[in-house]
Every structure is written in C-alpha cells, then in structure tokens.
Amino acid sequence: EAGVAQSPRYKIIEKRQSVAFWCNPISGHATLYWYQQILGQGPKLLIQFQNNGVVDDSQLPKDRFSAERLKGVDSTLKIQPAKLEDSAVYLCASSLHGEANYGYTFGSGTRLTVV
C-alpha cells in the first residue's frame, strides 16, 4: 500500500510571500488532516476533512491559511502571506474513517522556513 505523499519536502520563502503544499492520501482514506508541528512541540491540527467536507478548522488561521480537498482525494494547504512564526513542519495524515482507532498514517511532511 502506497503511503501518504506530500510535496515539496522542503521550502524556504521570505516573509509575506505565498506558499502551497500538496498532499495525496492513502487510496480510499476518507479522512485527511493537516497538522503544523513547530520544533519541540506536538502536532497541532489545522484542518480535518471528511471526504471533501471540512470537519474541523477551528485552529486554522483563516486570515492567512486556506485548504481545499477537491473531489475528496488530494488536498492543498496554502499560506498567504507567510509570517516568520509559520516556520514549521506541515504534516498531512489520513485515516480510513474518522474513528481514531483505525490509526493515522502520516506523510513525510514539508519543512517550511520563513526568512
């Protein structure tokens, strides 16, 4: 079974620039998550999709972050404009259903550095 694919692996941008990340979940996984992980901290959920609908985006800074999951498969996360404090690893994860006991599979992440 192919894993969760993410790109790019690394990105360096200047503050106030825009950036987009892409995620392709495991085939058949209905639930997709975007997490932000700052160095030394646990992952913070930004947004959760169930198919192509948003389940939870309560911690997404909506003034600068946006995400979409067209057709309930691939997803993109965008930051516009970026701030220095957005420097983090952005992890995409997917699960078969929303029920946590099926387990979450994470992608390799995108390491974003804002300078």
Partner 1 sequence: GQNIDQPTEMTATEGAIVQINCTYQTSGFNGLFWYQQHAGEAPTFLSYNVLDGLEEKGRFSSFLSRSKGYSYLLLKELQMKDSASYLCAVSILREDSNYQLIWGAGTKLIIKP
Structure tokens at 44: 């913070």
Report in angstroms how near the CB of residue 81 gets to partner 1 at its nearest: 26
**CB-nearer residue toward partner 1: 27 or 101:** 101
**CB-nearer residue toward partner 1: 12 or 55:** 55
User: Among residues 37, 47, 50, which one has the least CA distance to residue 77?
Assistant: 47
**CB-nearer residue toward partner 1: 78 or 111:** 111
> Binding residues for partner 1, per CB under 8 A?
40-45, 48, 50, 55-56, 91, 98-101, 103-109, 111
Report in angstroms how near the CB of residue 56 gets to partner 1 at its nearest: 6
User: Among residues 55, 102, 101, which one has the least CA distance to residue 75?
Assistant: 55
β 10-13/110-114 pair status = parallel
Report in angstroms how near the CB of residue 101 gets to partner 1 at its nearest: 5
Distance CA 67, CA 49 (A): 10
